[in-house]
């Protein structure tokens, strides 16, 4: 058993070092900035499908944006709840809100790319901000991100929004799941390095892009059949190389409550986990092996060692596991998660592996994944 414990402890330390590297080189963030004179026009585009519980908060926060020239375009993607009624009430009070009645989803398109493409088609802004209906924005968020882009010559600025974790499942699982995604992609320093075209990701909750760059890359039409459209859009920008991208922490300027229950969280990540690993099979295998060593294998083996009174083997596993938890806690605090979030990492890793396995099965063998009442097959073409 000592040999097994040594191997698992070594794997755990490798994961801890990788996590430490990501934490150390993922410090990029934007600073709050007062709006400057002469800022270019901005169109804020929000896709909304059955968002009655979120849309008022999102739109009202966007209407408070301190920018001299902006519009808000909400694309009602054929909602069947009270989303449109809520939007109409807000639009009567503020003409800066434009509502687009979404057209039926064409064959070969995923819902979100189709919705935002319709919004971009009527947008007049020199810059486009694509943001989700479950976000909440501070008044200085957009002008701060735009100033960052202009001063540094970025074609795209994507923000890692603060996560509102209120329910038990959110608090226990979401920090680990999001960090695992960053572990798989790499530090934000690498994402922002134009010399590393294969390291790319955007946060689809907040993508600010110049109209010139957006049109040059083909817009969301270029990723129309991608359920993880933000990931693929980032990859296209990095490989194209004409426009610099910047992924950074929002540092309190934008927040999101992604999911409100375990079921929502599970289905939300199942829909695109396997897609994110596409084309990187060896890396995905290595990553999932490390995660599995950390949890659930190490805790199970440690328990067996304790039962069999193999104290040294158990100690090695506990210490190496605690190293992962300690590094995760530092990173999660820097990402503005609640103190103590790192303690739940073993549970979060086990659930993440289960999500990935489910996503892979559904994508390859289970007839695809379902999201917002639409089903997408293994080739990601809409099934209904």
* Distance of alpha carbon 19 from alpha carbon 186, whole angstroms: 9
Q: Which tokens in the block code for residue 62?
A: 């966007």
Q: Which tokens in the block code for residue 341?
A: 């979030």
Instruction: Report pLDDT for 383.
Output: 38
Beta bridge partners of 162: 255
pTM of the model: 0.93
Give the mean pLDDT per block of 10 residues along the chain (384 residues): 95 96 96 91 98 97 96 97 98 96 95 97 98 98 97 98 95 96 94 96 97 98 93 96 98 95 93 69 83 96 96 97 97 94 97 91 72 61 40
* Distance of alpha carbon 139 from alpha carbon 254, whole angstroms: 9
Q: Burial, 49: exposed, middle or buried (Cβ in 10 Å; 0-12, 13-18, 19+)?
A: buried
The tokens 């933000």 sit on which residue?
230
From the CB of residue 284, how many other CB atoms can be counted at a distance below 10 Å? 18
Instruction: Report pLDDT for 372.
Output: 67
Instruction: Report pLDDT for 127.
Output: 98
For every residue of the chain, which 3-state class applies, written as one string? CHHHHHHHHHHHHHHHHHHHHHHHCCCCECCCCCCCCCCCCEEEEEEECCCCCCHHHHHHHHHCCCCCCEEEEEEECCCCCCHHHHHHHHHHHCCCEEEEECCCCCCCCCHHHHHHHHHHHHCCCCEEEEECCCEEECCCHHHHHHHHHHHHCEEEEEEECEECCCCHHHHHHHHHHHHHHHHHHCCHHHHCCCCCCCCCCCCCCEEEEEHHHHHHHCHHHHHCCCCCHHHHHHHHHHHHCCCEEEEEECCCCEEECCCCCHHHHHHHHHCCHHHHCCCCHHHHHHHHHHHHHHHHHHHHHHHHHHHCCCHHHHHHHHHHHHHHHHHHHHHHHHCCCCCCHHHHHHHHHHHHHHHHHHHHHHHHCCCCEEECCEEECCCCCECC
In contact, 300 and 5? CB cutoff 8 Å: no
Provide the CB-side half-sphere exposure for 377 (13 A, CA): 7
Instruction: Report pLDDT for 328.
Output: 96
What domains are defined for the chain? Answer: 2-24+276-376 (no CATH), 42-258 (3.90.550.10)
């Amino acid at each position: 058993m000592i040999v097994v414990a040594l191997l698992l402890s070594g794997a755990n330390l490798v994961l801890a070092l990788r996590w430490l590297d990501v934490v150390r080189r993922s410090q990029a963030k934007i600073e709050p900035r007062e709006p400057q004179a002469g800022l270019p026009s901005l169109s804020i585009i929000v896709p909304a499908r059955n968002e009655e519980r979120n849309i008022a908060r999102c739109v009202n926060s966007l209407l408070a944006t301190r920018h001299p020239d902006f519009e808000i375009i909400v694309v009602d993607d054929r909602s069947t709840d009270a989303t449109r009624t809520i939007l109409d009430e807000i639009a009567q009070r503020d003409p800066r809100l434009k509502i687009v009645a979404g057209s039926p989803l064409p064959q070969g398109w995923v819902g979100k790319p189709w919705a935002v493409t319709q919004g971009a088609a009527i947008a007049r802004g020199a810059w486009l901000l694509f943001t989700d209906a479950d976000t909440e924005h501070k008044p200085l968020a957009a002008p701060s991100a735009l100033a960052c882009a202009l001063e540094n010559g970025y074609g795209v600025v994507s923000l890692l929004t603060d996560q509102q974790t209120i329910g038990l499942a959110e608090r226990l699982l979401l920090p680990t799941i999001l960090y695992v995604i960053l572990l798989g992609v790499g530090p934000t320093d690498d994402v922002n390095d134009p010399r590393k075209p294969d390291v790319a990701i955007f946060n689809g909750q907040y993508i600010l892009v110049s109209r010139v760059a957006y049109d040059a890359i083909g817009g969301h039409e270029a990723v129309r059949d991608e359920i993880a459209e933000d990931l693929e859009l980032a990859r296209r920008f990095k490989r194209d190389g004409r426009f610099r991208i910047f992924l950074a922490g929002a540092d309190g300027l934008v927040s999101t409550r992604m999911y409100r229950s375990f079921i929502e969280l599970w289905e939300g990540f199942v829909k695109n986990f396997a897609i994110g690993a596409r084309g990187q099979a060896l890396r995905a295998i290595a990553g999932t092996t490390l995660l599995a060593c950390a949890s659930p294998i190490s805790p199970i083996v440690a328990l067996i060692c304790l039962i069999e009174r193999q104290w040294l083997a158990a100690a090695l596993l506990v210490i190496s596991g605690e190293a992962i938890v300690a590094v995760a806690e530092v990173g999660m605090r820097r990402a503005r998660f609640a103190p103590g979030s790192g303690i739940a990492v073993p549970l979060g890793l086990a659930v993440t592996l289960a999500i990935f396995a489910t996503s892979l099965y559904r994508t390859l063998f289970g007839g695809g994944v379902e999201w917002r009442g639409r089903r997408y097959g293994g080739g990601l073409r809409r099934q209904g």
